[in-house]
Amino acid sequence: MSAPATVSPTAARLAELRSAGRAALVGYLPVGFPDVARSTEAALAMVDAGVDVVEVGVPYTDPVMDGPVIQRAAEAALAAGTRVRDVLGLVEAVAEHSGGRVPALVMSYWNPVLRYGVDALARDLAAAGGAGLITPDLIPDEAREWIAASDAHGLDRVFLVAPSSTTERLRLTARASRGFVYAASTMGVTGARATVGDRAEQLVADTRAAGAENVCVGLGVSTGAQAAEVGRYADGVIVGSALVRTLLDDAPWTARLDALARLTGELADGVRGARTTTTRTTTRSTTMEAAS
Amino acid sequence: MPASEPVRDALTQTLAHQVLGRLADQPGPYFGEFGGRFVPEALVAALDELDTEYRKALGDPSFRDELARLNREYTGRPSPLTEVPRFAENVGGAPGAVRVLLKREDLNHTGSHKINNVLGQALLVKRMGKTRVIAETGAGQHGVATATAAALLGLECVVYMGEEDTRRQALNVARMRLLGAEVVPVTIGTRTLKDAINEALRDWVANVETTHYLLGTVTGPHPFPEMVREFHRIIGEEAREQVLERVGRLPDVVAACVGGGSNALGIFNAFLDDEGVRLYGFEAGGEGVETGRHAARFSGGAPGVLHGARSYLLQDADGQTLPSHSVSAGLDYPSVGPAHSWLHDLGRATYEPVTDQEAMEAFRLLCRTEGIIPAIESAHALAGALRVGRAAVAAGRTDQVILVNLSGRGDKDVATAARWFDLLDDVGGDEAVVETVTSEEGNL
């Protein structure tokens, strides 16, 4: 990996927030749910309500890392005719709307990327102003082509680590990643949980010790209190299912957008309060509906 | 990158094998450009542990002895070789011009070849100290075999099965429940085998510390494609000896049906390095490849990644998995084991689709000419054998020997066949079948 000294837009944003004394809020939404236009509207609403990084999901027929909420949204997005290329428009909209201040990462299972063409997608994503890719079912061991393409087009590549990862694999993943390393807080799929895994804090520490500059935590975060808890020790807090759930409602679209903005605001307050107040004691007693 | 050295070492070994080694001993993770490990990082530690334990077990005489004993005393191996002359007459030509021999995996305990792999993996589960197994099943054969091994070895067992398949194969749902397994109908996506695998993978990610995913075919992330082949290679090894003894020479053709491809790879493997033996894999052509309703990955798909491995795959222009279709639940899968993709691209094996119609005709023919009710999956191999035999006769060849893997028996398919051939019209028709099957399930 003779990477040119690529400046990672995501890493730059995380560094900026670090010096401001807080973690980033990373908000996930799938493109195409409930349709492409409204998913773009929702992503921009999330930006206005305070997310620092946008993660745009590519809906896929076989999302093995996703729980029921994101599965449902992905299924609906595909049924509505969403194409992989639609993600590019959404990424471009986020870049324009935020004046390049909010990095947009694309989260995609590997086969849609393979089919599009690894280099072609990297090229088109970079041209759209995207920051990079999060790859939930691609480990660095299989990523030779993507590592080359992301180097060539100056994109971030976010690989995942899990509580089961060995030290050796944490090192491998930290070395292969750019932007940040995505730490799965728990062994499981996406979805809101009553508590964020106890192993998350240790995993973040271990991943940093293995050489990662930035480590963001995902899986299970759904409330401001949980965001505050994770924001104490992680460089970023990734929220997916809880945000998607606000849009799965039967309520009128504007009401759903309001709910999305409200939750985003609560989460943004959470990461802002994380290192200034002692929120920890309240966090654990928060009752949340567990992932079904 | 020191951490990726195991992968590079394996790749080097793979390349060395392609130059020097026997095709039959091809190690994972790569079969040519196919295979690999396209999985969430959370599963890598478990796959490494499995790989290590599997390699240790292969070199451990006590493991091999125990598996051999179970194969003999529990499964009933070796499975017999049966010549089917009345069936073979249907290819035409002079009497005896084409001889058809069936490798009778249908006579194994639990009714199919699936038990070979299940017993091997279940013994590994005990060695790893895990207490729970999960499995996917399409036709129900692998689920039944897994539930059986779990009962035998005292393991907790959960089987994921697409809702569509629980309806098509309700009797096997009842069987699994009788054996103490929990059967979970999967109600998302296409509600068939592919979605059952997705659910099993989600369960595995969450419970990997106590749970082994007892994958039922030669697909999935490394080491599954290699390991499952190893547990099934006994099919081909026995058959090769049996044919040599019976006929005095190797067969001209070996035929098998290919869903994920475990029975096919199991019987092909012993012949891969016998250049004169032609190998045929028959995929589900469904309603015809031209209709788009099929599971013909080689004629209707392209290389891609699904469920942890790179292989031929039914997919659209965006890489979304396309639904597959087949009268047989066991062949109704949009991808195929990576070793088959490798053999396909090497030209070592030929893969052709067989339609529902052709398979059901062969199904009935074997019933009526030989008194053997095959699984509808296996009937695809029988139909393919008839096709190859007829071509041989048309080309004026004589003295052809075709070995067919009869991978499973058809008890589970009686309801489907009754509907297909309108066998119960005079006693209440379709409803009689559906009622018999579902009321049994409902009472359990």
Looking at residue B164, its pLDDT comes to 85
Tell me whether residue A256 is in a domain: yes
Query: Domain spanning B24-72+113-225: which CATH class is it, in words?
Result: alpha beta
| Structural domain containing residue A275 | 22-285
Residue A213 lies in a domain: yes
- Flag whether A10 is in a domain: no
* C-alpha–C-alpha distance, residues B264 and B258, integer Å: 6
Would A250 be classed as within a structural domain? yes
- The band of B171, judged by pLDDT with boundaries at 50, 70 and 90, is confident
Distance from CA of A118 to the nearest CA of B (A): 12
Using DSSP, state whether A103 is helix, strand or coil. Answer: coil
Q: What are the sequence ranges of the domains in chain B?
A: 24-72+113-225, 77-111+233-420
Upstream peptide bond of B223 is cis (omega within 30 degrees of 0): yes
> A57: which chain B residues are within 8 Å (Cβ-Cβ)?
none
Among A113, A140, A160, whose Cβ lies nearest the Cβ of B40?
A160
Give catalytic residues of B, as residue numbers: 114, 136, 407
- Interchain contact, B319 vs A84, CB within 8 Å: yes
Same fold, B24-72+113-225 and B77-111+233-420: yes
Mean pLDDT for B263-282 is 98
Which residues of B are less than 8 Å from A164 in CB distance? 41-46, 208-209
ipTM of the complex: 0.92
CA distance A197 to B374: 50
C-beta separation of A263 from A53 below 8 A: no
Q: Do B188 and A75 touch (CB under 8 A)?
A: yes
Q: By C-alpha distance, which of A234, A208, A232, A207 is closest to A219?
A: A234
User: Count of CB atoms within 10 A of residue B361's CB?
Assistant: 16
What's the confidence (pLDDT) of residue A285?
36
- Among A35, A52, A66, A124, the active-site one is A66
Q: Which two tokens stand for residue A130?
A: 């995207």
Q: How far apart are CA B381 and CA B70, in angstroms?
A: 28
Output the tens digit of pLDDT for each of chain A's 292 residues: 444 456 799 999 999 999 999 999 999 999 999 999 999 999 999 999 999 999 999 999 999 999 999 999 999 999 999 999 999 999 999 999 999 999 999 999 999 999 999 999 999 999 999 999 999 999 999 999 999 999 999 999 999 999 999 999 999 999 999 999 999 998 888 888 888 878 999 999 999 999 999 999 999 999 999 999 999 999 999 999 999 999 998 999 999 999 999 999 999 999 998 887 544 444 333 333 333 3
> What is the domain-level CATH number for residue A225?
3.20.20.70
Question: Residue A123: inside a domain, yes or no?
Answer: yes
Report if residue A6 sits inside a domain: no
Whether A66 is catalytic is yes
pLDDT tens, residue by residue, B90-104: 999 888 899 999 999
Q: Output the pLDDT for position B434.
A: 55
Number of domains in chain A: 1
pLDDT of res. B440: 38
Domain B77-111+233-420 has CATH 2.40.30.20: no
Give residue-wise pLDDT tens across range B205-220. 999 999 999 999 999 9
- Reported confidence tier of residue B29, pLDDT bands at 50, 70, 90: very high
Residues belonging to chain B: 444
Q: What is the DSSP letter of A109?
A: -
- Name the band, by pLDDT with cuts 50, 70 and 90, for residue B18: low
Which chain B residues touch A63 with a CB distance below 8 Å?
Answer: 198
